[in-house]
Every structure is written in C-alpha cells, then in structure tokens.
Amino acid sequence: MLAAGALAVAAALTASVLSGAPGDAANGQRAQARTTGAHAVGAAADAPAPCEHPEASLSPSDGAGPAVQRIKDRGRLIAGVDQNSYRWGYRDPATGRLSGFDIELVRAIAKDILGDPEKVTWLAIPTNKRIDVLRDKKVDLVARTMTVNCERIKQVAFSTAYFEAGQQVLVPDGSTITAFDDTLKGKRVCTAKGSTGESELKNEAHGAEVRTVPNQLDCLVRLQLGQVDAVVTDNALAAGQAAQDPSVKLVGKPFTTEPYGVAMNLGDEDLVRRVNKVLDDYRRGGEGSQWMLAYRKWLAKSLTGIKNPAPPKPLYKD
C-alpha cells in the first residue's frame, strides 16, 4: 500500500473528463512501405501483403487543403490529449496548465498552422476513446502516446513516428513478478482498454487474470490499492508513473516496439502532411532541435532507464 498522498494524487488525476475549454520535410528517410490492404506484386488480387511498416506516413507539405483550412477558418486547433500521464500530457497542479512532451508538440502544430501556440482547444480523451473522437470528427488530431500499428491504420491516419517506446511490466516493490512471462501466472494484471497492452495480453496472458480500465493511470491506482498485482503498458508511460510513485518499478525488458504518432481522421490527408512538415522541423537541428529540447525538459530525467536520445527517423510511403 502506498502513502496516502501518492494515492490521492494518482486518484485525483484519474478524473479525466471531456472538456472543450480553450487551453493555455523532406529530409526524412523515404521508403515504399506496404500497408494492410496493399497487394503484393504477383500475388492474387484478393491476397493483401503483410503490414510491414505501419509507421510509414504521407510525405510532408506546408500546403493548406480542406482540413488545414477548416482549422484556419475556426481559428483554433482542437486536440485530443491526456491530462493524467506525468511528463507526457498532464495538468500541472501548480499552474493548472496542461504540460508535457505531447502537449508541447501540439502547441508547435498550432503555431505552424495558426501562428500562435496557444490557439488550442484541449479535449481530455480516455485511452479507449481516441479512435472514436477522430472518426466522429470531434477533434482535429490526437496526440496521446498513441502507438501506430497495423490495426489502427485501418481506422485513423498517423503522422510519422515522433517517439519509440515498448510494452513492459510495472509492479510494486517486493513483487515476485519479474517480467512479461510465466511469473504472471495466477496474478491480476491491469491494462487500458483499447491499448496495445490489451492486445498483447489477449495474445498471451501467461496465465494472468486480465482486468481492463478506461485510462492507463486507473491501473496505477488499482496497483496502489492492492486490487491488481501488475500493470502492462508502454514503458515510457510506466516510467512516468514510477517517477510519481517510487514504490513501483519496471521489471523485465520491453517486449514490443511502440512508435508513437499523431493520429488524425483518415480523410484529412492534407493535415497529415502538414503535421509531418511540423515534425520534420521539430526534429531538425541535432542536439539543438525542438525535439531534443522537449526531450530534455520533459522526459530525460523522469524516464530513468528509458533512453531515447534522438527522434525516430521518419518513414514515408509516397
């Protein structure tokens, strides 16, 4: 059981509610990537090629098609984000302002399109609603530690990858669980509904009893209360939770590769290209790039043991 203060902070952060209140490129690697639904040369017309590079996106452009123009006409970018993932997207209790690595990226997108990083309407989105709000056109984009994978690219469009993490196991100190392996047998394991962790546990639970919640931080609260024995999530998120609460820790090694991308509606191709142009600028400059400045500010100190000293190289499919 954790200290009451830590539990109270985590419990308070789980109260993530939808809110519409206004809140505070071509240098990349190009490759012809196969995506789900594409047909291999010489294969039968009804035989789709393997989804080899779901993280491949559209080439960058600073043009203004219908989606970008919609944002310009509105005068605000509507962004779906997290407000309870420490160092990624969280509400700073001292200022009440949304802060973090993902939040800073959204502000860079708003500045590029609208000339002002503060012209953003923030919507706090649960993990299991990220795709829904995009398909229903309630937001222009989602920047919420969202992994690009073969299943999701059928439903939403993604930018190029801006960070790379991996699934790992979070446990309390003194746990007998040592990794994503048979030490999970008979244990209660929590993960967010609609997350990559849920998919991995469906494929192989190692004999664990799987429990799902709407938001990943809800798993930390259940771990604190002793209602579950472990959490399976992205190690970048889990390391942030461990930074909040030193009585929990990551064990084992990452067992997946999780490229994070900015998600958008499938029909908003011009916005995808514009975001990729922003990301191209964001990566440029080596140690002095906006990406590195944001990494050192938000992630480097908190994500002990999670080393990502440079952004992933962009991969384009056109």
Q: Which residues contact 197 (CB under 8 A, 6 or more apart)?
A: 167, 191, 232, 233, 234
- Reduced to 3 states (helix: H, G, I; strand: E, B; else coil), residue 111 is helix
Q: What pLDDT does 86 receive?
A: 87
Bridge partners, residue 164, by sequence: 259
Q: Which residues contact 315 (CB under 8 A, 6 or more apart)?
A: 28, 29, 30, 31, 33, 53, 55, 56, 57, 160, 161
Distances (CA, A) of 82 to 49, 214, 219, 230: 34, 12, 15, 22
Q: Which of 76, 114, 130 is nearest to 265 (CA)?
A: 130
Q: What pLDDT does 275 receive?
A: 98
The number of C-alpha atoms within 13 Å of 290 and in the hemisphere containing its C-beta is 16
**DSSP 8-state code for residue 234:** E
pLDDT tens string, the chain, 318 residues long: the values are: 444 334 333 443 333 333 333 333 434 444 444 333 333 333 334 545 568 899 999 999 999 999 999 999 999 999 999 998 889 999 998 999 999 999 999 999 999 999 999 999 999 999 889 999 999 999 999 999 999 999 999 999 999 999 999 999 999 999 999 999 999 999 999 999 989 899 999 999 999 999 999 888 899 999 999 999 999 999 888 888 888 788 999 999 999 999 999 999 999 999 999 999 999 999 999 999 999 999 999 988 776 666 557 899 999 999
Rounded to an integer, what is the distance from CA 200 to the centroid of its chain?
16
Distance from C-alpha of 91 to C-alpha of 100, rounded to nearest angstrom: 9
Q: What pLDDT does 245 receive?
A: 87
Supply the pTM of this predicted model: 0.80
Sign of CA dihedral 186, 188, 194, 200: negative
Distance from C-alpha of 212 to C-alpha of 194, rounded to nearest angstrom: 9
Q: What pLDDT does 84 receive?
A: 87
Q: What pLDDT does 306 receive?
A: 60
Distance from C-alpha of 242 to C-alpha of 293, rounded to nearest angstrom: 22
Q: What pLDDT does 142 receive?
A: 98
Provide the Cα torsion 249, 254, 259, 264; round to 10°. -60
